[in-house]
Amino acid sequence: MAKIAWACSSLIVVLACALPLATSDPIRTDGGQVAGAPGHNTAIQVYKGIPYAAPPVGDLRWKEPQPAAPWKGVRQALEFGAECMQVPYPEGSLYYTPPRPTGEDCLTLNVWTAAKSASEKRPVTVWIHGGAFTRGSGATPTYDGETLAGKGAVVVTINYRLGIFGFYAHPELSKESPHHVSGNYALLDQIAALQWVHKNIAAFGGDPGKVTIFGESAGSWAVNLLMATPLSKGLIHRVIGESGANFNRRLTLADAEKSGASFAERQGAKSLADLRAKSAEDLLKAGGQFGVNIDGWFLPRSVADIFALGQQNDVPLLAGYNQDEATSLTQPLSGGAQAFLAQAKTRYGKMADDFLKVYPAGSDSEAAESYNQAFRDTTFGWEMRTWVRQQSTTGKSKAYLYFFTRNPPGPTAARYRAYHASEIAYVFGTLNPPRPWEDVDRALSDKMSSYWFNFAATGDPNGKGLPAWPAYTTADDPSLVLGDKIEVRHEVNKAGLDFLDRYFAAQAAGNR
C-alpha cells in the first residue's frame, strides 16, 4: 500500500491514476477489439461509444445504415459518442441535461455488463431513448445501466438519427432506395443496433436469444414499431413500452414524400445533392415536422392493422403509463371551464356530452384537472391499454399493464406529480441528487428494476419478494399500480379509455 501511495504522488502517475482504467482483457466484436472501464460499481464493466453503423454523412445522409468500418488494434471505449443532431432541451426543463458534443457521426452504443466470461448468457436489455424523435441520447445520466447490470442484465443504450435526419422522406430518396421507400431511418438505425447486438453481445456475456427492447415516450413508440415490423423478427424476444405507442397514427409514405418535397422547395434545393450539401446545422435550423410513415417495407401497414391481424412479433409485452403525463408536457389550461367546454365541443362534436361526463368542467379547478386527465388518456393511456389488449387478444404471448403513480419528492412535486418520464429513474435505479429521494422511492425503485429484470430474463415480471402482477386480460383489465403502495387495480381510468375507444372507432369509420 505504501508503494502505491508513493507512486501516485508523482505528477505523471497521479494523472494516470485519475483516468478510468481500461480492462486488461479486450472484447472482440465484429468491428474489432474494444476495451472498457469499471463503473462506479467496479464489478460492472462499461463500454462506451462503440460504432454499430457507418457515419450517415455525405451521400449516406438519408440512406439506410451501412456497416461500420472495422478498426485495428484495441479501441478504448471509454467515452460516450456524440449525440445525434438536435436542439437541446432548454435550461430549466425537467428534461434538461448539460450539453454534449453533437453531430451526424453519432451511430454508437454503450454496454454495461457484470459478466466475467462470454459463456454466461445473461438476459440483454436494449434501451431506446425518448425525446419526441427529436432529442436525447443513450448517454443521458438517468439511463446509466449499472443497477440493472448489477441485477444480472447486460444493458445496452443506443443513439439513432433524429428529426429531419431520421425521418425525412422525398420522392427522389424513394427512387434511389432498393426498397423504394424513404424516411424511417431512425428505426432502421435501431434495427442495425439490434443486429449488432445479435452478432456481438455474447462476447459481453449476453444471450442473443434473450433480448428485451425497452423505451419511454418516443422510445416506447419505437419499441411498439419494432414489435410490429417484420424486420425485427428474431432480433427481439420481449418488449417493454413506457408511455407511448402508435395505434392512432397513419402517416403514409406518399404524404411524407409530399411534405418532404415541399420542404425542399422552401429551402431552394433543386436536387438531393443540394440538400445533402447543406450543413447539418442549417437543416436543423430550417425546422419542419417529420415522422414515421407506413412505407410498405418497415411497416407493411399501420400498427393498428398489424396487431389486429396478429402479424406482430408475438413476444411477451410489458407496458404502461403515468398518472400525470400532462403536467410536464402541456401549458396549464388557459381560460378555465368555459375554454375547456368550448374545446370539447369543437373537438368531439356530437360526442362532446359523452366526453364531458367523463371529464367534467363544473368549475375552473375541475376543468383544469379534467384537461390533464384527458390529455393523459388520449395521448398515452388509450395507446398503452390498446397495445396490451391487442397482444392479449391476437397474440399468444402474455402482456402486463402498469400504472405509475409515485410523485418524485422535491420542490416541484406538487406541480408535476407523477409526470411524463418520472418512472425512468426508478427503472434504472438512478435516484441521484439533487432530488431528495426518500426510503419509499428507493424501495419502489428496487422493486421496479426487479420486475423489469425478471421480465427480461423470463418474459414474466413476477419473482420472489414482489407483489404478484397478473397477466392482462380484457375481461379483468388489471393494472399493477406502482406508487407509494404496489397493488393490483382493475379498470384503471376505464370510463375515459372506453370513451376514446368509441371516439377513435367513429373517426376511423368516418375516414373510410
- Positions marked active-site: 217, 325, 420
Contact assessment for residue 197 and residue 212, using Cβ atoms and an 8 Å cutoff? no
Within 8 A by CB and 6+ apart from 147, the residues are 428, 429, 430, 445, 449
Sign of CA dihedral 435, 438, 443, 448: negative
**What's the CA gap between 177 and 62, in Å, rounded?**
10
Which stretches of 136-184 are DSSP H helices? 146-151, 163-167, 171-176
CA angle 444, 245, 361 (to 5 degrees): 80
All three cell numbers of 195: 443486429
Q: Look at the block and give the residue holding cell 491514476.
A: 17
Please provide the DSSP assignment of 298-340 as one string: S-SS-HHHHHHTT-S----EEEEEETBGGGGTSPPPSSHHHHH
CA angle 324, 326, 327 (to 5 degrees): 75
Instruction: Find the largest Cα–Cα distance for the chain.
Output: 83
